[in-house]
Amino acid sequence: MNSEFRKLPSVDQVLAHERIKKLAESHGYPHSLLVSLARESLDSARRVIAGGSPAPTLGEIVEAVADRLQTLEIPRLRPVINATGVLLHTNLGRAPLSKEATEAISVVATDYNNLEFDLRSGRRGSRHVHVEDILCQLTGAEAALVVNNNASGVLLGLTALARRKEVIVSRGQAVEIGGSFRIPDVMRQSGAKLVEVGTTNCTYAADYEEAITPRTAALMRVHSSNFRLVGFVSEATLEEIVDVGNRHNITVLDDLGSGCFLDTTEFGLDPEPMVQQSVAAGVGVTFFSGDKLVGGPQAGIIVGQKHLVDKLKRHPMARAVRVDKIRLAALIATLLHYLKGEATSKIPVWRMIATPLEEIEQRAELWAKALNGMGVVIDGETMVGGGSLPGGTLPTKLVAIGEQGTGKKRVNIPQAISARLRDMPVPVIGRISEDRLLLDPRSVPPEDDAKILAALRDVASDLSKGR
């Protein structure tokens, strides 16, 4: 046997070390956790020895245990400052919530609540009633239902309304929404049969009509929320699809994806179909997300005709995909901003969209000044992102940081600053483009400017000193 293995301490020796004992006393770690981590570290040491390296010392193994303890204590899910210029950044949690939404979360999270309790009758109630009336007021729909996310909403709708039947979809809309969420796959999982009509670039109302058979359960529109077809393209309007459905007594389903309650053209963005328009067109059931253009928590929102939505509520799958009290509370608070006409001042994503360019420029100038000559203000574009408004951008002002020096003294400042900003107590996330680090004030709430300025000053100071 390799003599190096004999040099390894026992688990008891590791646990008896003064540093481990102090950590256990100061942090209250249970003995079972310390034993588990000591064994992990010793197993790792044996693999190192088996690879031909000498045995780690007792001190090194203790250090490894201490590092693992510290790693476990560091919050894995942390707040960051999004300076990427993508408002609905999927990797950064999409829509930040309003102050009122986070307060609503705190209220229901810290106390018991009437989630499924009718205060008038004293009997069991339904969680749907808390949000349904608000959604009906906002959209003009007869009924509403909220589930875990839009993908589960679409799956529930197809399963409840079209299982073992046919659903007609334009070939240009049999798409992948993202994260391998593909309409043909969802159809198969729901038990519905996808019937594609038209071509990738052109589908007409007559194509839907000609494909109808006695087994047709629904006509479905899937909004291209994350891509655009350009050039020679034509698609049937929602009104035309509804007209075909009405004449044949067939339900029309509308998957809006990101969902929107406000007219995006008023903010200089491309037109995005609004939920209210879908309902007004006579769609049977409309599906959309809560955490994209709605600006709320992750949720799948379903609105439509009462007899159809009621079928979804009664379906066994509805329980498997139901929304919890935390997100329900946040969604209600978010929707109330729309009812009160305060969305652009209270909902962060719409506040960012509505911010005047002049205000963005003033903040960018302050950011650049904090970099002590390392950054300049340039024109740029902010993306809405999150699978919403593909190609839709807003004018902005960016702080651009490029490489400095020449020849062998050339320093990759963008990468260095980007790494240091990510290592801040509240990480600052920018984007690298064409060998420059770009920071966009439009995607950062003004309340975070103090943190940004402090971080930029610290980084600039360190780099100027050669650290």
Using only C-alpha atoms, the chain has a radius of gyration, in whole angstroms, of 28
Nearest to 115, CA basis, from 102, 126, 104: 126
- Chain segment 11-31, per-residue pLDDT in tens: 999 999 999 998 888 888 899
**pLDDT surpasses 90 at 405:** no
Three-state SS string across 261-316, please?
CCCHHHHCCCCCCCHHHHHHCCCCEEEEECCCCCCCCCCEEEEECHHHHHHHHHCC
Domains and CATH numbers, the chain: 3-73 (no CATH), 81-89+349-464 (3.90.1150.180), 96-346 (3.40.640.10)
Q: What number is the average pLDDT over the span 273-301? A: 96
> Residue 159 pLDDT more than 90?
yes
- Terminal Cα distance for the chain, rounded: 47
**Residue 233 dihedral angles phi and psi, to the nearest 5°:** -135, 150
> Around 330, how many Cα atoms within 13 Å sit in the side-chain half-sphere?
22
pLDDT band at 395 (very low <50, low <70, confident <90, very high): very high
Q: Tell me the pLDDT tens digit for each residue of 28-64.
A: 889 999 999 999 999 999 999 998 899 999 999 999 9
pLDDT at 72: 85
What residues contact 134, with CB distance under 8 A and at least 6 apart? Answer: 332, 335, 336, 339
pLDDT of residue 406: 41
Is there a contact between 385 and 96 (Cβ–Cβ < 8 Å)? no
pTM metric for this prediction? 0.87
Both structure tokens of 303? 């609105």
Check: CB of residue 153 under 8 Å from CB of residue 309.
no
pLDDT of residue 62: 93
List CB contacts of 243: < 8 A, sequence separation 6 or more: 205
- pLDDT score for 224: 74
For residue 61, CA distances in Å to 5, 32, 68, 339 come to: 13, 17, 11, 60
Q: Cα separation of 262 and 377, whole Å?
A: 31
- Residue predicted with more confidence, 76 or 227: 76
Q: Is the pLDDT of residue 258 over 90?
A: no
Query: Residue 373: helix, strand or coil by DSSP?
Result: coil
